Structure 1
Amino acid sequence: MSASTSLAGSPPSLSGNLSPSPPRAGDPLASGLRTLFDPTIRQTTEKLWIVHQSQIALAEELERLISQLNHYLETTDPPLLKPTIVKLASVGKRLNAVNAQLHTIQGRVNRLFIQLSKQKAINNANNNAASTSATAPGPSTLGVSSFTSSSPAAAALAAAAGVGVPGSSASGSRGGS
């Protein structure tokens, strides 16, 4: 149980990367997606952390109860408690499996957040480069270069936003031309 108790502490701080910033005039898609996803990511992370902490507390309490019952079994001739102890041990094993799954989910959420942050950084870099060039990009090319990676998440975001990605089903004409 030392692995689950080593995870105790304060919740992961995503506030440094998720702090609301004023929307940029040149990047409405990124700011819109950020505004859409930030509260959900924060809320999910906080709830996962609370569930994880309660699972750790429950696991510790189950360990304490099992050790007391085992001591009771060794010192006295108890009534039929052995089936209950076996059930508690089974519940403890399932609880550890749930904790491991929660840890995996938290890792996935963190990786998704990192990927979205990297994508936003690419968008910002592309928009900064486009704003400093002599020619202004047309409305159909604004932000498209940031979604040309082979990432499935980038393709899904592009499809949801209606931005064409070469080689995906979302590419093509956005308007009625």
Structure 2
Amino acid sequence: MRSPNLKLALVFLLLVGLSALLLLNKSEMMLYVKNVLEWEHLGAALWLGLTSCFIVHYMSIFSDDSYQGGIIYKHFGKFADSAFASITYGLASSTSASILKGVYVQQFFSTEVYFKNFDDIDIWSMLVVCLFLLGYSIYAGFNALRTAIFNTQTEVAVGISS
């Protein structure tokens, strides 16, 4: 008999707990999401966070001769690969967060109309696409940071003897 996957069991319990929390505090949670999306520094925070992740990633691959990046790396090098990643994910995250704010406020609060000549299917499609873009951008940044921190060749610090 196979042993149970404890990580998946914990994820399941976490999701059940978060779902119960959402159901018990629906209006407060919806207001919290609205406040986050309307935070005036959200775009800058996303840009700074993602740029920081890719700067750390660039620093980790700078002298790594075994690094094999994507198509940008092959044509332009490591710096361009990291710079374009930072710019691309920064734009995708801040733009999708702005669109999400409009969709969320319009569809769930009905206080403002951001997308006047759009059908409901278009608005819900924007919600799905923007959630994916925002989530993937944040995932890519954290993945670059994780790779830099945990996969970088490190040296053991040796004390100086007197």
Report the TM-score, using the length of structure 1 for normalisation. Answer: 0.41
Higher relative contact order structure (alpha carbons within 8 Å, sequence separation ≥ 6):
2
Report the TM-score, using the length of structure 2 for normalisation. Answer: 0.44
